[in-house]
A and B are shown apart, each in its own frame.
Chain A
Amino acid sequence: MAPFDIDSIAGLARLTVSDGEKAALAEDMAAILAFAATLPEADPYTEEAALPLSALREDEAADSDPAPLLCAAPKLREDAFTVPSGGISL
Chain B
Amino acid sequence: MNGLIFQDIHALAAGLRRKDFSALELVRAHIDRIRSCEDTISALITRTEELALSRAAAADARLAGGDAPLLCGIPFVLKDNICTEGIPTTCASRMLADYIPPYSATVYARLQAAGAVLLGKGNMDEFSMGSSTENSAFYPTRNPLDISRVPGGSSGGPAAAVAAYEVPFALGSDTGGSIRQPAAFCGLVGMKPTYGTVSRHGLVAFASSLDQIGPLTRTVQDNAAVLSCISAPDGRDATANRTFAAAKDLFSGDIRGISVGLLRFPGDAADPAIRAAVESVAAVLADRGAQVREVRLPALSDALPAYYILSSAEASANLARYDGVRYGARAEGAASPDELFCSTRSTYFGPEVRRRILLGTYALSAGHRDAFYLRAQSAARRIRAAFAEIFATCDCLLCPTTPTVAFPAGEKSDPVSMYRGDLFTVPASLAGIPALSLPCGTADGLPVAAQLMAAEGNDGLLYRLAAAIEEVRI
Contacts and interface: CB of A to CB of B under 8 A. Distances in A.
**Is there any pair of Cβ atoms, one from A and one from B, under 8 angstroms apart in the complex?**
yes
B340 A83 contact: yes
A15 B357 contact: yes
Contacts of A85: 336
Given A69-B102, A72-B327, A15 B354 contact: yes
A85 B372 CA distance: 36
B355 A43 contact: no
Nearest to A44: B378
A41 B336 contact: no
B224 to A, nearest CB: 26
Given A13-B316, A15-B346, A29 B378 contact: no
B355 A25 contact: yes
Interface residues of B, number: 62
A61 interface: no
A89 to B, nearest CB: 12
B375 A74 contact: no
A39 B302 contact: yes
Given A28-B414, A35-B304, 13 more contacts: A1-B371, A13-B358, A14-B323, A14-B345, A16-B342, A35-B305, A36-B376, A39-B378, A72-B99, A72-B326, A73-B327, A74-B327, A81-B325
Nearest to B335: A86
Interface stretch (B12-20, B146-154, B359-367, B398-406): B359-367
Interface in B355-391: 355, 357-359, 361-363, 365, 367-368, 370-372, 374-379, 381-382
Most chain A Cβ neighbours within 10 Å, of B340, B358, B361, B363? B358
A21 B349 CA distance: 14
Interface residues of A, number: 47
A87 B338 contact: yes
A74 B330 contact: yes
A51 B238 contact: yes
B368 A2 contact: yes
B359 to A, nearest CB: 6
Contact of A84 (B309, B337, B359, B416): B337
A84 B339 contact: yes
Contacts of A17: 346, 354, 358
A84 B334 contact: yes
Contact of B378 (A9, A28, A38, A42): A42
B267 interface: no
Interface of B: 99-100, 102, 235, 238, 241, 302, 304-306, 308-309, 316, 320, 323-330, 334-343, 345-346, 349, 351, 354-355, 357-359, 361-363, 365, 367-368, 370-372, 374-379, 381-382, 414-416, 419
Nearest to A69: B102
A12 to B, nearest CB: 5
Nearest to B336: A86
Contact of B361 (A12, A25, A72): A12
A36 B309 contact: yes
B379 to A, nearest CB: 5
Given A39-B302, A39-B375, A72-B100, A9 B342 contact: no
A31 interface: yes
A83 B337 contact: yes
B365 A9 contact: yes
Contacts of A9: 358, 361-362, 365
Nearest to B379: A39
Nearest to A35: B305
A37 interface: yes
